[in-house]
Structure 1
Amino acid sequence: MLFVTFASDEHDAEEDAADLGGPRREFFRLLVKAIFQDSGAFEGTPNGCTPRLNILHLQNGLYRTIGRMMSTIIIQGGEQPAFLSPSVVDYIVSGDILQVHVTPDNIGDPDLRENLKKVQQATLQDDLEKAVSCCDSWRYQVEGLPLVVTMANRYVLVKNAVLYHTVVQRQSCLDQLIDGLSHYGVLSLLRENPSLRVLFHIPGEDKGLAADFVAGILKPSYSVLGSNRRAREELMVVKCREFLQCVENKELRDTYGDRTLTKDEEAFLKTLSPGHILAFATGSSKVPAIGFHPTPKLIFINDEDRHLPTAHTCANELHLFVNATTMADDDGFNHCFLVALMNGSLFSTI
């Protein structure tokens, strides 16, 4: 099990946090971003990420290392690295090129992708010939493609060309990635249970977590029913859920009325999503593959002197302070929540 301590660039010191789960989840979330956005080992396509063919990466075993990282993230409670193209996952699950389903949208190169789409969508012979001529710079170098393309065999050209550019050409990268995924037995588990592929491939429409979903994850830890505090705590839950809904609907700015916000606050508002709130409370912007342990909770603290929500990510707790300021019928609670999220540093950055 990894135990993580973050270092502060500003103060040249370690953050004051023992790793009981929260810092590890935060580290894994940052690691997923580094793998798919910053490493240069993948390229984006309309259907998700596919390995970028890089000889130096192959020689250094980078794709194998990334596979081990992904296995570790899944087994040790990080959010699933679900950014791969479905065609890549097809090959990982089956290990057989002939079992891979491909479309032009699996190709990263926009010119190549659009040219193959034109071949696929051509309705007239003249249109088909023009589209095929755009592929002449490479198609004669790929053995097995039709030399004479007709309306009857154009789909064979498209399918096999996509298969070549997305899988055959990058097979060594994919095989290294698969070797890395055998770490912790993740590969065998995946092949025995193909439904687990959802841990890897990007959803068809990734709109992020919905406000209601996040609200359902954070279970309120109420005082006993009938106590003086219970009604105030229930009101705080209503305020919290309204905040989440405004974030999802991009209506949070409207709740501040005439309040003057800083430039940083205005900029942060534009990027804020319900996933930020979950990350603030747990260190993970998505539900980990193995779920949250312990169950995330909303904790209520009666304190008139503190207003900004805080989090205990190791315990998966979001702490809300119940007092005159946060319960007032104005924008006080929403502004406190916004400031807290902004000051959450990396734990509020997605």
Structure 2
Amino acid sequence: MNYEEEEAVEEAMMRSLYEDTDVFPRDFGSANILTREEISGILKAHADEVVTATLKPIHISRSNVWTTAVRQFSRTSFAENLGTLYVTFASDEMDGDEDAADLGGPRREFFRLLVRAIFKDSGAFEETPNGFIPRMNIRHVQQKLYKMIGQMMATIIVQGGEPPAFLAPHVVDYIMTGDINQVHVTPDDLADASLRDSLKRIKGAGTQDELEKILECCEWRFDVEGLPNPVTMENKHTFVNTAALYNMILQRQSCLNQLIDGLSYYKVLPLLKDNPSMRIIILDMPTGLHLTPEVLAGLLKPSYSVLGSNRRPKEELIVVKFRAFLQSVQSKELDETFQERALTETEQDFLHNISLGHILAFVTGSSQVPATGFEPYPKMSFVHDDKHLPIAHTCSNELQLFINSKTLADGDFFEYSLLVALMNGGMFSAV
């Protein structure tokens, strides 16, 4: 990939990160906005300083990612080792280990599965309209689980995992400042739908009588010291903002403080504070870090045969087919490709849930572009052979496509082969 092509890919990825975003950077208006390339460079340099040359073995079950990860991260010797994770997955099919050495692919896959486990399986977070927030759990606080999660997130960030960008903006505000006076919380940030609705109705009340009727259903306010009392049209906004701050920050402050402590692992938190715009690594952005067909196609740059060879036109045709496949996945029109084929129920289910993230994960082990970028850079290669199922090498981030009369023919043979390869490529239904 030449400089101009790399620059085009970077530009497309940055558009997917920042367009239509009105919360970045929140309360950091003077912060310089870094490009993805700059963020990647800063993180790589930081990783070179803080990650030691030693290996840090970790044994994980794909069917119990959270449980097995916690057992490893809770070990003192494991936490004290600042080396690079060496991931071994326990086989789900046999009593033994998979034979794949971790040259990067297994580690990226583990990080992808771990991010999902943190926010979906751990029970330590709950989802709001604007991202995830810690769920107050006394037992989790006593076990220092939130500190461990912070250490997990820090490890993911510096060792090439896809960004754990799921935290609500006000949570990131507090992580970055540690000051509740610099945290902006609105009713829309609340996880409790009933409380969220009550505060929004209070905020929108047009008269004192209307306000008092709404307040009749808010007996909880008398249990919170410091809220305005009585609530009037003049102080209702202060009441709403203070109540939201209490619910979202003060009630969860012990969880948040542990999370902050954990993010100091590998010196990640000081790095984020020195570069405030890098908060996107942990922030749930409105546009997210979603892939586009253009970005994914730019990442998987074809390694063509030389111009003039009889192989080159065939390779270009396969690339055209592959990019049409990406467009169909993005537009949810892939089922139209298989109208003449009787798909199994499992294939139909996968067809309706497939995403561009599945394809990137198939090739690299990561469903998003890591904050540190990919090393090595992904590529697409071609094998002129009678085989048909595409092959992925996640350690080298390489997608191999087979070229023969069947994959080149009209119809859906190539697309179906790609679909089957993705289905059989591991645990990608959870992307």
TM-score using structure 2 length: 0.79
Residues 1-350 of structure 1: pairs in structure 2 closer than 5 A: 1-136=84-219, 138-206=220-288, 208-304=290-386, 306-347=387-428, 349-350=430-431
| Amino acid paired to 2:326 | L
Give the residue type in structure 2 aligned to 1:76: Q
- Spell out, residue by residue over 1:287-309, the C-alpha distance to the aligned partner (whole angstroms, 9 max, x if none): 001000111001111101x1011
RMSD of aligned Cα (Å): 1.1
**Matches of 1:207 and 1:311, distance apart in 2:** 23
CA contact (8 A) 1:280 1:348 kept: no
Contact 1:190 1:197 in 2 (8 A): yes
Paired with 2:308 and 2:280, the residues of 1 have a C-alpha distance of: 44
Q: Does the Cα contact within 8 Å between 1:300 and 1:321 map onto a contact in 2? A: yes
Sequence identity percentage: 61
Structure 2 unmatched ranges of 5 or more: 1-83
Q: Distance in 2 between matches of 1:206 and 1:195?
A: 15
Q: Secondary structure at the match of 2:382?
A: strand
Q: Distance in 2 between matches of 1:227 and 1:253?
A: 35
C-alpha deviation, 1:16, in angstroms? 2.2
- Answer with 118-127 or 145-154: which moved more: 118-127
Which stretch has the larger CA shift, 59-68 or 1-10? 1-10
How far 1:130 moved relative to its partner?
2.1
Cα deviation for residue 81 of structure 1 reads 0.3
Q: Which amino acid aligns with 1:166?
A: M
Q: 1:107 offset after TM fit, Å? A: 1.2
Contact 1:277–1:348 (CA<8 Å) still a contact in 2?
no
Deviation of 1:9 after TM superposition, in Å, equals 1.7
* 1:203 to partner: Cα distance: 1.1
How many angstroms does 1:152 deviate by?
1.9
Q: Secondary structure at the match of 1:2?
A: strand
* SS of match in other structure, 1:3: strand
How far has the Cα of 1:8 moved from its partner?
1.5
CA apart distance, 1:153: 1.3
The one-character-per-residue Cα deviations of 1:149-192 (angstroms, maximum 9, x if unpaired) are 12221110111101000001111110000000000110000111
Name the CA distance, whole Å, in 1 between partners of 2:428 and 2:300: 16
Secondary structure, aligned partner of 1:13? coil
Native 8 Å contact 2:289 2:368 kept in 1:
no
Look up the equivalent residue of 2:112 and give its one-letter code. R
| C-alpha deviation, 1:336, in angstroms | 0.5
The CA deviation at 1:201 is 1.0
Q: Which moved more, 1:191-200 or 1:100-109?
A: 100-109
Give the letter aligned to residue 291 of structure 1.
G
Aligned partners of 1:308 and 1:336 also within 8 Å: yes
Cα deviation, residue 205, structure 1: 3.3
The separation in 1 between residues aligned to 2:236 and 2:160, in whole angstroms, is 46
For 2:398, the aligned partner's letter is E
CA distance in 2, matches of 1:248, 1:316: 22
The 10-residue stretch of structure 1 (291-300 or 145-154) with the greater mean CA deviation from structure 2: 145-154
Residues 380 and 401 in structure 2, CA contact (< 8 A), matched pair in contact too: yes
Q: Aligned partners of 1:50, 1:332: CA distance in 2, in Å?
A: 45
Counterpart Cα distance in 2 of 1:329 and 1:39? 47
Q: 1:185 to 1:207 in 2, by over 3 A?
A: closer
Distance 1:291 1:271, change over 3 A: same
**Contact between 1:119 and 1:132, CA under 8 Å: does it hold in 2?**
yes
- What is the SS of the residue equivalent to 2:380? strand
Report if the CA contact (8 A) 1:116-1:131 is conserved.
Answer: no
- For residues 120-159 of structure 1, what are the alpha-carbon distances to aligned partners after superposition, in whole Å with 9 as ceiling and x for unaligned? 12223333222222222x1111122111112221110111
- TM-score for the superposition, normalised by structure 1: 0.97
Q: Is the 8 A contact 1:255 1:331 kept in 2?
A: yes
Q: Unaligned stretches of 5+ in structure 1?
A: none
Residue by residue, what CA displacement relative to the aligned partner does 1:256-275 show, whole Å, maximum 9, x if unpaired?
A: 12210000000011111111
